[in-house]
Amino acid sequence: MLEAKRLLAHGDETAAQISDHLGFVTTSQFNKYFMQRTGRSPIDFRREIRGQATSEWPT
């Protein structure tokens, strides 16, 4: 989990690339695992950690 957070916070890889790097079979599996442990999606985590609240992104 620490590696996933580090990659999301400081890297430019997509969630799909990170999930593959960490050995998840699918990106969906990684997203679910991350959500269960942090309470947010990997993309929401990245936005928050980089100082960009989800509400600031266009829908």
The phi-psi region of residue 17 (left if phi > 0; otherwise alpha if psi is between -120 and 50; otherwise beta) is alpha
Instruction: Report pLDDT for 56.
Output: 52
pLDDT by 10s per residue, the chain, length 59: 999 999 999 999 999 999 999 999 999 999 999 999 999 999 999 999 988 755 554 44
Instruction: Report pLDDT for 51.
Output: 87
